[in-house]
Amino acid sequence: MFKFSKSFMMLIVIVVGIVALYGCGKSDIDGKSFKVFHKNKFEATMEFGKNNELTVKSAEGKYNAGQEFRGEYQLKEVDGKQFLLLPKLDSEILDIQTFGYKTVEIDNLNSKDKKDWYVYQLEEKDNKFFMYDLTIKEGKADKFKDINDLNMLEIKKEDDKNDINSILEPNDNVN
């Protein structure tokens, strides 16, 4: 009886630990849909699905409303900062990638795959996510090589202010 309860308790502890780890590792954007505002204009919706699936749809009212781009995204946290890595998007659907282009090596399905990614720093304020354009810190340009070097990036300044690329607002119209 004692061995049974000890084994049972151990199983409970393991299950609770796994659930806690999964919950702690999940970002606030995973599984959610957002309206993307670029230069104060609603440009598209961006949905962050399971298994890093990304769906971007051109906004209503645009000539190509509803046109979709599908790809993958990555979220990385370094030194308490959250980074969003996006693939090259179709500029007809969402034209936000004018700055911040970096080629980084990421772990893609257990194999190293060198891809071109746009890297943004995310900051959550008032239930919105601000996407900041980044630049490589002074003196680090020749050292920035891959995903492990995200700490060498800093928010690009525009007129002494952080350069906001886009704002992600929760999309309440998603079922």
Confidence label for 167 from pLDDT (cuts 50, 70 and 90) = very high
Confidence label for 9 from pLDDT (cuts 50, 70 and 90) = low
CATH number at residue 94: 2.40.128.570
Residue 51 in domain: yes
Phi, psi of 14 (to 5 degrees): -65, -45
Residue 132 in domain: yes
Give the pairing of strands 134-136 and 128-132. unpaired
Residue 46's alpha-carbon distances to 27, 39, 139, 150, in angstroms, are: 15, 16, 34, 23
Range of the domain at 35: 28-170
Residue 91 in domain: yes
Tell me the residue ranges of DSSP E strands in the chain.
32-38, 41-48, 53-58, 68-72, 74-78, 81-87, 101-108, 111-125, 128-132, 134-136, 153-155, 157-158, 161-162, 164-170
Residue 80 in domain: yes
Residue 92 in domain: yes
pLDDT at 106: 52
CA distance 45 to 168: 9
Share of the chain above pLDDT 70, in %: 71
Q: Cβ atoms within 10 A of the Cβ of 84, count?
A: 23
- Contacts of 20 by beta carbon, 8 Å cutoff, 6+ apart: none
SS3 52: helix
pTM equals: 0.74
Residue 15 in domain: no
pLDDT tens track for 107-163:
444 445 566 678 899 999 999 999 998 888 888 777 777 777 888 888 888 777 778
- The tally of domains found in the chain comes to 1
pLDDT tens track for 89-106:
888 888 887 665 554 555
pLDDT tens track for 30-57:
889 999 999 999 999 999 998 899 999 9
> In the beta sheet, which residues pair with residue 58?
44
* Average pLDDT for 72-89: 90
